[in-house]
Amino acid sequence: MNSFNNKKINEKKGSFLSKIIKFFIIFVIFFSGYHYINYNNFINESLISDDIIIEIKSGDNFSNLGNKIEELNNNYYKYYIKNNTPDFELQAGSYKLNSGSNINDIILSLNKPINDEISITILEGWNIYDIDEALNKKGLIDAGEYINYVTDKEKINALKEFFPFLGDIETLEGFLYPDTYMVSISPFKINNFVIKQLETFEIKVYEKILKNLDTKTITDLVNLASIVEKEERNNNEKPTVAGILKKRLNAGWMIGADITVCYPHKLTSEECKFSITKYLYDKNDYNTRQMVGLPKTPIGNPNFTTINATLNHKETPYWFYLHNVSSGKIYYAETNGEHEQNKVKYMK
């Protein structure tokens, strides 16, 4: 009887052990298959969504490349590079990684540093936070480097010797002309880029329409134009909008431009779109919904058309305006009562 029971127990133990072994084998197969598929996807998939520039420094190697390229900061890359060691050493310099590159493309792109120029477009109305973000995304600077440079009082004072339109200012905001620039990427130098922007402002704006104005007038004009640039995108309407804001300013009214509320919070233009209502009632040196006068500094960088429209603004009987949310069309009003009626009619 005992012999029979022992046999049954041994059979159960053997059956249980067999199940564990089978489960383990299935798990290993599944685990291996899962990672095999993911690894192959990693090798073949596009890892770079936008063209970027990365800087390789002396001492960098393929093993720590994941610290520079986020998409390679994983175990699949470590396994890949361990089993596919490139037949060349990394050289210090700038490298361009093209949009759509997979891991093989990336490695090939790192074979030789580039020493040419790339184009970068600064859009109308962008502020220093937008520009800093754009340069950072291109791999040209660390986040915050551009902002620090264009707000450095010592550097601004040095630049005043070469650019007569720079007056008593604490930031270069407003004078960093929006345009498409060709910039050297090996290496990229912020000071050279900023000088290019100021030179462009001088050629395209100062020499044409501002040369006979004093620096205080220029600074105030650019400040107001930076608001007009963000308030009205239609060039045909800009002189009228500028005239309304100028009239409010001269009458001692609040300018009342919603777009000014974001600047003290150091937001990009895109971030501002979702933050206006949040900061609408903040009291500071920029919120023209809560203060009389111009903001402490310009809130962005206007182009020639907007600065010219502000300088040669249109006199009208209007004091108010609003935009239809859907169409973007602008509606003017002479009185607050008419303005409220327009809100009911067009802000839907």
The pLDDT of 232-252, averaged and rounded, is: 97
pLDDT at 213: 98
Closest C-alpha among 346, 256, 250, 263 to residue 301 = 263
Q: Encode pLDDT of 95-119 as tens digits.
A: 888 888 888 888 888 887 776 778 8
pLDDT at 20: 75
DSSP β-bridge partners for residue 321: 332
The percent of residues above 70 in pLDDT, for the chain, comes to 87
Q: What three-state secondary structure class fits 13? A: helix
State in Å, rounded, how far the first CA of the chain is from the last one.
90
d(CA 34, CA 209): 66
Q: What three-state secondary structure class fits 313? A: coil
Q: Which of 62-66, 96-100, 240-244 is the most confident on average?
A: 240-244
Mean pLDDT computed over every residue of the chain: 88
DSSP β-bridge partners for residue 121: 180
The pLDDT of 63-81, averaged and rounded, is: 79
| pLDDT of residue 168 exceeding 70 | yes
pLDDT at 172: 99
- Where is pLDDT greater, at 264 or 31? 264
Work out the pLDDT band at 136, boundaries 50, 70, 90: very high
pLDDT at 2: 52
**What 8-state DSSP symbol labels residue 105?**
H
Per the listing, tokens 């520009």 go with 131
Per the listing, tokens 């935009």 go with 323
Asked which of 70-74, 143-147, 150-154, 204-208 is least confident by mean pLDDT, the reply is 70-74
Q: What three-state secondary structure class fits 95? A: strand
The pLDDT of 25-32, averaged and rounded, is: 64
Asked which of 20-24, 35-39, 143-147, 176-180 is least confident by mean pLDDT, the reply is 35-39
| pLDDT of residue 8 exceeding 80 | no
pLDDT at 157: 97
pLDDT at 347: 80
